[in-house]
Amino acid sequence: MFKKLKIKSVWIAAIAIGLAFAACSGGHDGYSRKNGVLYKLIVIGDTVCPPNAGDYVTCQLCYSTMSDSTFFVGNRTFQLTEPEFDGSIDVCFLMMSAGDSASFIIDAENFFQKTLQCQMPSFIKKGDKMKIDIRMDDIRTEDQYRRDKEEFLKWIEDFGEYEKLVLHNFIEKEKIEVEPTESGMYFISLVNGSGKPVEYGDIVTVNYEGRFLNGRFFDSTVKRNQPFEFVYGTELQVIPGLEDAIGRMREGQRALVILPSDLAWGEKGSSTGIVPPFTTVIYEVELLKAVPQSSDSEDSEDIEKQSDSTEE
């Protein structure tokens, strides 16, 4: 009898600990809470040396909804800033060391409105959380980053010249007569649009197909039957050349854009390895919709209704 009571007490204690942990992590299994974010370490690197504000980090990013619907994947290098509030994405980067991989859960509204300073996409509602998966590839001080960049630029001069030659030959072969923009992009309108032009902060929806100069496709929202939606003018959304091109378009317009690597995937290529370094790419883009932040559309009304019924 005594043994049975003892075993029962152990189980009750274990259940209590489990419930306490679940409460602490907001009910998300495997996640712990720190500095306003929920986090779960997936891979621990060889060293424990997190970055400081002002350092440059290179990392693989994946943004998704809590139902695991991914809406952004990319490899980025950028300078960290001091977190402006608990629970910001900056907190996540400052918790990691080189070689670490981790999953974070943060408040979506704070991310879009406070960090990116833009309206939330229509597929995310007020009160929603979002997942950010980060693989920290490299951490460098500002001085290290500057020195490495100078050395690398000297080393890659020959590669950049070769890419220019390949692009020049392609332009001549295809008899493309439009002049490049100041940034080096070739923008060719295929179908003129009659809708509103894109403005900073608009939530835009596009279809696109990306291919190499040899005609081989590497990405297509058309084949996936899944148009891409993002907030125009915010960081870490699309490659620079594609953003520049979309900013020149109106709803209903379809255009062909040729992007040298410095407007696309750069000297490192895409994080997936599909697009090699120093590779010019071509995108055929169709602007389906551009909704301003101040829109009185039904989507905005739905968001308001949702926010009224969602606990803060």
CB atoms within 10 A of CB 87: 20
* Residue 308 predicted with pLDDT over 60: no
Which pLDDT belongs to residue 237?
75
Rounded Cα distance, 214 and 242, in Å? 19
For residue 97, CA distances in Å to 39, 70, 101, 272 come to 14, 24, 9, 22
In which band, very low, low, confident or very high, does the pLDDT at 294 lie, cut at 50, 70 and 90?
low
Task: Return the domain boundaries, the chain.
Answer: 25-144, 158-291
Q: What is the pTM of this model?
A: 0.50
Rounded Cα distance, 64 and 53, in Å? 25
**CATH entry 3.10.50.40 includes domain 158-291:** yes
Which pLDDT belongs to residue 65?
92
* Residue 98 predicted with pLDDT over 80: yes
Which pLDDT belongs to residue 155?
58
Rounded Cα distance, 19 and 218, in Å? 47
In which band, very low, low, confident or very high, does the pLDDT at 4 lie, cut at 50, 70 and 90?
very low
Which pLDDT belongs to residue 260?
94
* Residue 156 predicted with pLDDT over 60: no
Which pLDDT belongs to residue 79?
92
Which pLDDT belongs to residue 9?
43
Which pLDDT belongs to residue 161?
78
pLDDT single digits (tens) 111-139: 998 888 887 888 888 899 999 999 999 99
pLDDT single digits (tens) 213-261: 999 999 999 988 889 998 898 766 789 999 999 999 999 999 999 999 9
Copy the structure tokens of residue 102: 């981790």
Rounded Cα distance, 128 and 139, in Å? 31
- Cβ(189)–Cβ(212) under 8 Å? no
pLDDT single digits (tens) 40-96: 999 999 889 999 999 999 999 999 999 988 888 888 888 999 999 989 999 999 999
Give domain 25-144's CATH architecture.
Answer: Roll (3.10)
- Cβ(75)–Cβ(58) under 8 Å? yes
Which pLDDT belongs to residue 235?
67
Which pLDDT belongs to residue 175?
92
* Residue 5 predicted with pLDDT over 70: no
Which pLDDT belongs to residue 120?
83
pLDDT single digits (tens) 173-214: 999 999 999 999 999 999 998 889 999 888 999 999 999 999
Averaging pLDDT over each range in 204-208, 294-298, 302-306, which range is the top one? Answer: 204-208
Q: Taking residues 9-26, what's their average pLDDT? A: 40
**Residue reference for tokens 């929202």:** 221
* Fold equal for 25-144 and 158-291: yes
pLDDT single digits (tens) 269-293: 887 778 988 899 999 999 999 998 6
Percent with pLDDT over 90 in the chain? 53
* Residue 159 predicted with pLDDT over 70: no
Averaging pLDDT over each range in 10-14, 149-153, 165-169, 236-240, which range is the top one? Answer: 165-169
Which pLDDT belongs to residue 83?
93
Question: How many angstroms separate the first and last alpha carbons of the chain?
Answer: 49
